[in-house]
Amino acid sequence: MFGYVRPYKPELKVKEYEMFRAAYCGLCWALKEKYGGIARYIINYDLTFLAMLLTHEECSPEICSGRCPASPCRKKQYLKSGQAFEFAADCSIILTWWKLKDAAQDGGIKEKLPAALAAAVLKGKYKKAEKAQPEFAATVSRLLAELSALEKANNPSLDAAADKFAGILEAAAAGADTDSDRRILAQMLYHLGRYIYIIDAVDDYPDDSKSGNYNPLIYRFETGGAALTEEQRETLKITLRHSEGLISSAYELKNKNVYDAIISNIIYLGLENVRETVFQGKGAELKYTNTIHQGVRNK
């Protein structure tokens, strides 16, 4: 959805980065296979992480190659990991459609029309994804409605708003193979969702302060749109570190799969790097590099 969940590349081995690229392309291919070529343009890092996380410990992904619209002159390698990537593709469609619906209703005039058109294009694909994952789709619909109510009321509780989005990602734990993994992943994904919501609020705070869009930080700290103080920024960093710690603690209980080195890099290094990048006011750099295909912006 947002592209904040990504590896810290300087600490990845070359073979690990190549595997991450192939996994990213694997989700892109899964979207194309199940929902058509246009669906591949909604791919992002966050759902690639979900696909890797849900991959069974005994799964050995098949290495394939195919043409890519971002690099048509040569084939790219991608991984086929079966059920986990198909589930992530379903979730991608469901989350993207609801995000577009929300933008079409609550965004500015420049956002409303493109979002409404894109939502219309995805409507049939959403129905297919909803049929494949009815419980997840129902949870997303319910929690987004509850989150929208909080936003319309200008609710000052950061935790209340973050809890709704966290619950959405928590619901994706249903894609795990065993009850044990589902419990572990529910904890991980809940706090990952909380992390994403809060880091996005920090990232968008300057723009939201000017535009008047809802941002819980404005009401939580009663800033009136003024810049966050160092004390307020530190409070937010502490709560983000708390969620990062709970994500890592839960992951230590999970049986590891073929993507362990990449997942560990994301959890222990990537989240911290993104946090510091956003707090340095450089979040735009992340949003415009939410792809590993050169020359392609924010799929």
Please give the domain boundaries of the chain with CATH numbers for all domains: 9-287 (1.10.600.10)
Specify the higher pLDDT residue, 115 or 297. 115
Which pLDDT score, from 0 to 100, does residue 98 have?
Answer: 93
- Per-residue pLDDT of 73-93, as tens digits, reads 778 888 887 899 999 999 999
Task: Report whether pLDDT(296) > 50.
Answer: no
Confidence of residue 121 (pLDDT cuts 50, 70, 90): very high
- Per-residue pLDDT of 208-232, as tens digits, reads 999 888 999 999 999 999 999 999 9
User: Which sign does the torsion angle of CA 153, 130, 104, 279 carry?
Assistant: positive
- Per-residue pLDDT of 151-205, as tens digits, reads 999 999 999 999 999 999 999 999 998 899 999 999 999 999 999 999 999 999 9
